[in-house]
Amino acid sequence: MPFVSIRCYAELNDFLPPNQGSITFHLSLPPDTALKDIADKIGIPFDLIDLVLVNNKPVGLSHHLEENDRIALYPVFENFDISSVTKVRDHPLRQPKFILDVHLGKLANHLRMFGFDTLYQNNWTKESLITISRNDNRILLSRSKSLLDIESLTHGYLIINTDIHSQLVEVLEWLDLYNLASPFTRCIECNSKLQLVEKEAILSRIPQRVKDWCNEYQHCSSCNRIYWQGSQYQYMNAFVQSTLKEQPHPDYPNK
């Protein structure tokens, strides 16, 4: 009868009795128990779990447990890019999403440029920011400690830096987002996903000097903007590529 130890991380502990939360606890299991069979036993819905490590190695739900296995269960990740190690499913369940306070408009545009789902409006109140953050599972980025200290906020991060490049690197490093970036896929102005559009469909909206050389265009169906790879794109792309190249080599989460 395998005797295993289990440790749950972050919000997964909310499902456990108080005496089991945030500590290692032990279970005796019938022989030949697969990982998926322990869901009922510990009462955590497996669709909330994004990564399972057994003895520090990522495994799938069909993995069979053995005596003295050490099982670590991680929720849908916000603090690490686990896309290279996750075995539970092909991709992390939830991509990090953001909402930014009134002082971070430039950072909002840049996060969108890197492809991250980022809400920003310069007239949102503190209450609105927190409500949207909670209802939409968005991480609130702010330069205000007092805002982030509000108890009802569950996911927030204090931006320390003041210049845009350092702010961006701060967020990319904090959440290990480098491998999740998909630059130029989102409207910088309104955050919607961009779609390729036929040149012929938008001919009247393209300046002649652009029309002459450019055949590929993207369209934002929300705000109706059109994007093409002109000189501003070249400049922004150089910025994006050089920033992504600065990626440190993050250690695998080993808490």
Residues that bind Zn ion (CB under 5 A): 187, 189-190, 192, 220, 222-223, 225
Measured from the CB atom, the residue of 11 and 117 that comes closer to Zn ion is 117
Q: How far is CA 205 from CA 213, 220, 226, in A?
A: 15, 13, 8
Instruction: Quickly list H helices, 47-144.
Output: 105-113, 126-135
Least gap, CB of 193 to Zn ion (angstroms): 9
Least gap, CB of 123 to Zn ion (angstroms): 18
Closest C-alpha to 205, from 233, 228, 234, 188:
228
Least gap, CB of 126 to Zn ion (angstroms): 26
Are residues 123 and 106 in contact, defined by beta-carbon separation less than 8 angstroms?
A: no
Least gap, CB of 223 to Zn ion (angstroms): 3
Least gap, CB of 115 to Zn ion (angstroms): 14
Measured from the CB atom, the residue of 6 and 99 that comes closer to Zn ion is 99
Find tokens 């080993």 and name the residue: 254
Measured from the CB atom, the residue of 178 and 217 that comes closer to Zn ion is 217
Measured from the CB atom, the residue of 134 and 225 that comes closer to Zn ion is 225
Helices and strands per DSSP (H, E), number in the chain: 7, 12
Are residues 119 and 99 in contact, defined by beta-carbon separation less than 8 angstroms?
A: yes
Measured from the CB atom, the residue of 192 and 247 that comes closer to Zn ion is 192
Are residues 74 and 92 in contact, defined by beta-carbon separation less than 8 angstroms?
A: no
Measured from the CB atom, the residue of 32 and 189 that comes closer to Zn ion is 189
Closest C-alpha to 98, from 109, 82, 89:
109
Find tokens 């789902």 and name the residue: 117
DSSP string for 234-248 = HHHHHHHHHHHHT--
Least gap, CB of 99 to Zn ion (angstroms): 17
Cα–Cα dist 113/100, whole Å: 15
